[in-house]
Structure 1
Amino acid sequence: MKILHLLSTIDPRAGGPIEGVLQSGLSMRAMGHEIEVVSLDAPDAPYLAGFALRLHALGPSRGFYGLCPRLVPWMREHAARFDAVIVNGLWQYHSYGAWKALRESGVPYYVFPHGMLDPWFKRTYPLKHLKKCLYWPWAEYRVLRDARRVLFTTEEERVLARESFRLYRAREEVVAFGTRQPPADSTTSRHAFLSMYPQLRGKRAILFLGRIHEKKGCDLLLKAFAAVRDIDSRAHLVMAGPDDGEYSAQLRALSRELGIEDRITWTGMLSGDLKWGAFRTSDVFALPSHQENFGIAVAEALGCRLPVLISDKVNIWREVKADGAGIVGNDTVEGTIEALSAWLRMDERAALAMREQALATFMRRFHVDAMSKDLARVLRETANTRDGGIARGALAA
């Protein structure tokens, strides 16, 4: 099949959806499919050069919404070359532009919301939600309504998506999601990371890796760590990832107030050997998020034999808990304290068993090949039918 992915940006700082498109695209290309990507990035954006799939950068886009005048004409000219178009994400011009270009074209399009319909945003940002309510009937509602399928990566995400807006209609389907297996453990990646951060040698590193953002529960992690730090003097918190605005500075101030400044290492965004070295040299991965659709970094941690301490707002928590691949708590300071305490006090035999289970869970549930095969199945079953049939659940309205 010939498949076109559509993204607002491929900037790796934007998080998991970009990595998901890249890894699934490479996997599907290896299966014999032809994969191309459209983004609204400026053609001279520095991060475009290393992108491994065929890319059409149609920007620069304008404003926060990402208005891109070239998108609709380009889609109308080229869409007929593809068997399916997959829209990744909502709330920016690329999703509405896809609907505008394709709704009468006969080319089926699919939508991955990537957690952007989660009611957490409605509760946490009520003013922003009010603006979205005004916009919803004229754009995103139609985008979802006319999609051949709206693709959710977990059953939890599918159910939650129905709670955000009263007007909602979609042909829903839950598909597997995942990422590639991490590179084999190597002295190169470990050495690269520890050479950059020698203060971590001999430490029990508790790794947070992701955007430094309030929804990720970063403040919960700092407060909980301050409460458990005396359990093991070797325990050390590693905060790795790009920050949004001034939030990182607020967290650093909080670490000083809590008296844990000397037991936290802030790395900024990590990639390549430094990223994998962080995983391979850490003791456990922590993400007490208030809202997390899937969590590519959680899957990557599991693939590195790293147990995960996550909240029950990370939508794959049920699988992690059922397998015993980590510890699940509430997205509160108390819940995070319980998870950290349980790990730091765990005996070595139990910790080793959890490490082995982490890898087994990744291979069985979250490997990118499972995602690619499931996505290919959905496209084969629905792309060539006029109305796409009814996805194993029916039309939600």
Structure 2
Amino acid sequence: MNTTKILRVISSMHPSNGGPCQGIRNAIPYFQKAGITTEVVCMDDENSHYSITDNFTIYKVGNGKTSYQYQPELLKWLKNNILNYDSIIVHGLWQYHNFAVYKTIELLKKQNLKIPKVIIMPHGMLDPYFQKATDRKWKALRNNLVWTLIEKKCINQADAIFYTCEEEMRLAATTFKSYKPKKVSNVGYGIQMPPENKDILRDDFYKIYPEIKNKRYLLFLSRIHEKKGVDLLINAYNELFQKNKDLPDLVIAGPTTSEYAQQMIKLASHNPKIHFSGMLTGNAKWGAFYNCEAYLLPSHQENFGIAIVEAMACKKPVLITKNVNIWNEINEGGGGWIVNLEEKRELENNLSEIIKNSEEDFAAKGYKAFETYKNKFDIETCANKFIQTLKNV
């Protein structure tokens, strides 16, 4: 199929949501280069303003209601406009926009009209973790119900399901019964090359957090959330600090307003080498990446982990867990350390080995991380793979 016009359907395109909406923004320039027009419809308020300017069309149909994001205006919009597109890419599950696309397509089938191809990208939302985590019992029950009534039909009737990595695709097939998609493909996922490493990046980071200036440090940069394993990291680091007061400092960068974040600050309060910088963006974020010795994310679940790949693109080695779905690619490339959280003290043991690395060791492992980024997670490579896969749906 010679696809010329794509509609992406997503709950929100607000930049603060990161993840899939950032992935869309990263990829669109390469679709444009290939002669493919991309438009987006989302359930943001029509008067909402983003902090960036997009050079593609975004239709905002209004905020949805409840966590399901029910918004009947989206269904109306799709009925009036869906035939203008060759393919529909649905980003994410468990919210109304997925069902609205399914319902619109079913109505068109009854009219014997030529309908666009429908591709769903779950973005990790079919990971079994979300059904097994002890703090998600009620959400897991809700998901079982929604799967039976809605999502199963959406997945199995779509023309294809696109995944961001092999591990996501493998795990998705193990979560729910009656998972029988017509076609599945790993199209990859990528990020743009970070800005060139210049003094201004480092200086802007030090302006925000001068306490770390001229110090060696390890970096955690993400949401400070229980899923990210922040408590595991702090506890392991505290144990090492009792044995070695000369280890590199630990910078934890992320919003600190949540109750959990405040608990983590308290957990680290007796360790003068743990620093909470708050959320970092722009130059300061890249300055933190470029000047750390290694990036750490001991997460309980991560579909892709954009910040992981951003660190790799900055030539920094990464410590992640086997619960991060791109761990195989990173392990094969030799650009990081892989932790099995089921093995007691493995995180602490890995950190103990990491801090023994020389500057040359970090640089060598960081270069391997960068090579993995270029070979596996470069946005142009992934966008071109997506385009070629889409043509064969």
TM-score above 0.5, yes or no: yes
Once the two structures are superposed, the pairs formed by residues 227-306 of structure 1 within 5 Å of their partners are: 227-229=239-241, 230-231=243-244, 233=246, 235-242=248-255, 245-256=258-269, 259-260=270-271, 262-306=272-316
Deviations 1:204-232 (A, max 9, x none): 22211222221111111111111223546
2 CA distance for matches of 1:338 and 1:141?
42
2 CA distance for matches of 1:181 and 1:13?
20
Any runs of at least 4 consecutive aligned residues in structure 1 with deviations exceeding 6 A, and if so which? none
Partner of 1:393: none
State whether residues 216 and 249 of structure 2, in contact with CA within 8 Å, keep that contact through their aligned partners in structure 1: yes
- After superposing the two structures, state which structure 1 stretch, 341-350 or 242-251, moved more: 242-251
Partner of 1:192: 204
Equivalent residue in structure 1 for 2:161, among 131, 145, 150: 150
Per the alignment, do residues 220 and 50 of structure 1 end up closer, same or farther by CA in structure 2, a change over 3 Å counting? Answer: farther
State whether residues 10 and 43 of structure 2, in contact with CA within 8 Å, keep that contact through their aligned partners in structure 1: yes
Partner of 2:112: none
Aligned AA (2:330): V
2 CA distance for matches of 1:243 and 1:158?
33
For residue 325 of structure 2, give the secondary structure of its aligned residue in structure 1: coil
Once the two structures are superposed, the pairs formed by residues 7-26 of structure 1 within 5 Å of their partners are: 7-26=10-29
For residue 177 of structure 2, give the secondary structure of its aligned residue in structure 1: coil
2 CA distance for matches of 1:82 and 1:360?
37
State whether residues 211 and 244 of structure 1, in contact with CA within 8 Å, keep that contact through their aligned partners in structure 2: no
Per the alignment, do residues 11 and 249 of structure 1 end up closer, same or farther by CA in structure 2, a change over 3 Å counting? Answer: farther
State whether residues 232 and 344 of structure 1, in contact with CA within 8 Å, keep that contact through their aligned partners in structure 2: no
State whether residues 294 and 314 of structure 1, in contact with CA within 8 Å, keep that contact through their aligned partners in structure 2: yes
Q: Work out the number of aligned pairs and report it.
A: 379
**Identical-residue share of aligned pairs (%):** 34
Shift of residue 238 of structure 1?
1.8
Shift of residue 193 of structure 1?
0.8
Partner of 2:238: 226
Equivalent residue in structure 2 for 1:35, among 34, 38, 62: 38
Per the alignment, do residues 347 and 274 of structure 1 end up closer, same or farther by CA in structure 2, a change over 3 Å counting? Answer: closer
State whether residues 94 and 146 of structure 2, in contact with CA within 8 Å, keep that contact through their aligned partners in structure 1: no
Question: Is residue 210 of structure 1 aligned with residue 222 of structure 2?
Answer: yes
Partner of 1:3: 6
State whether residues 15 and 211 of structure 1, in contact with CA within 8 Å, keep that contact through their aligned partners in structure 2: no
Deviations 1:191-210 (A, max 9, x none): 11111111111222221122
Shift of residue 51 of structure 1?
4.0
Deviations 1:17-72 (A, max 9, x none): 22211101233223332111111111233436534532111112212111112111
2 CA distance for matches of 1:319 and 1:263?
32
Question: Is residue 141 of structure 1 aligned with residue 152 of structure 2?
Answer: yes
2 CA distance for matches of 1:309 and 1:143?
36
1 CA distance for matches of 2:18 and 2:227?
13
For residue 268 of structure 1, give the secondary structure of its aligned residue in structure 2: coil
1 CA distance for matches of 2:141 and 2:155?
19
State whether residues 204 and 283 of structure 2, in contact with CA within 8 Å, keep that contact through their aligned partners in structure 1: yes
- Scaled by the length of structure 1, the TM-score of the pair is 0.90
Gaps of 5+ in 1: 383-397
Question: Is residue 175 of structure 1 aligned with residue 187 of structure 2?
Answer: yes
- Scaled by the length of structure 2, the TM-score of the pair is 0.91
Per the alignment, do residues 162 and 87 of structure 1 end up closer, same or farther by CA in structure 2, a change over 3 Å counting? Answer: same
2 CA distance for matches of 1:193 and 1:345?
26
2 CA distance for matches of 1:246 and 1:371?
37
Deviations 1:79-112 (A, max 9, x none): 1221111111111111111211223441111111
Partner of 2:128: 119
Partner of 1:315: 325
Aligned AA (2:356): R
- After superposing the two structures, state which structure 1 stretch, 236-245 or 152-161, moved more: 236-245
Per the alignment, do residues 130 and 71 of structure 1 end up closer, same or farther by CA in structure 2, a change over 3 Å counting? Answer: same
Shift of residue 284 of structure 1?
0.8
Question: Is residue 345 of structure 1 aligned with residue 356 of structure 2?
Answer: yes
Deviations 1:233-286 (A, max 9, x none): 352222222468422112122223xx22x3233233322112211111211111
Question: Is residue 334 of structure 1 aligned with residue 337 of structure 2?
Answer: no
Aligned AA (2:297): L
Partner of 2:95: 92
For residue 69 of structure 2, give the secondary structure of its aligned residue in structure 1: coil
1 CA distance for matches of 2:106 and 2:389?
20
State whether residues 194 and 200 of structure 1, in contact with CA within 8 Å, keep that contact through their aligned partners in structure 2: yes
Equivalent residue in structure 1 for 2:116, among 75, 97, 107: 107
1 CA distance for matches of 2:106 and 2:250?
49
State whether residues 208 and 285 of structure 1, in contact with CA within 8 Å, keep that contact through their aligned partners in structure 2: yes
Aligned AA (1:116): M
1 CA distance for matches of 2:172 and 2:8?
22
Shift of residue 306 of structure 1?
0.9
- Cα root mean square deviation, aligned: 1.8
Per the alignment, do residues 238 and 126 of structure 1 end up closer, same or farther by CA in structure 2, a change over 3 Å counting? Answer: same
Aligned AA (1:266): F
State whether residues 13 and 242 of structure 1, in contact with CA within 8 Å, keep that contact through their aligned partners in structure 2: no
